Amino acid sequence: MPPSEESDAPQRWDQEEADWLIGKYVLIGVTYLASDGVTVTSQGQYHGRITSADQSDGFAIECEGVRAGKTMRLPPDLGAFRLAGPGEYKLRSTGEVVKDPDVLATWSIVERPKS
């Protein structure tokens, strides 16, 4: 089971914990940062069901809602997931409302410096 609170510490891969996530409904927030690692260039929100978890391939999520039919892949980092509190989550990026997801995941992606 993922930690109930966010942690910045890298987490050792545990296949049993990863397997626990398979089938769970996840709400994902992604912040895209400029190469300085500080300036936010955009943000995205995604949701769907986790369909696989593998140490080398990471997580596969079958998206639902406006992104239905797409598969999203996330790195194999268990520390990015935490239990979600019950309730309705309104996605600013799409206006969708996700009710009672099982877990939340947050990611920051830093743009590569331009050469």
The pLDDT, as a whole number, for residue 10 is 54
Q: Is residue 37 part of a domain?
A: yes
pLDDT digits (tens, 9 = 90+) for 40-99: 999 999 999 999 999 999 999 999 999 999 999 999 999 999 999 999 999 988 899 999
Q: Is residue 5 part of a domain?
A: no
Q: How many CB atoms lie within 10 A of CB 38?
A: 8
Residue 88 included in any domain: yes
* Domains in the chain, number: 1
| Single-letter residue type at 18 | A
Residues spanned by the domain of 40: 15-110
- Is residue 22 a part of any domain in this protein? yes
For residues 2 and 104, the answer to whether their CB atoms sit within 8 Å is: no
- Tens of pLDDT, residue by residue over 2-15, are 544 455 555 689 99
Q: Whole-prediction pTM value?
A: 0.84
| Predicted pLDDT of residue 4 | 46
Task: Examine residue 47 and state whether it is found in any structural domain, yes or no.
Answer: yes
Residue 115 lies in a domain: no
Neighbours of 77 (CB within 10 A): 14
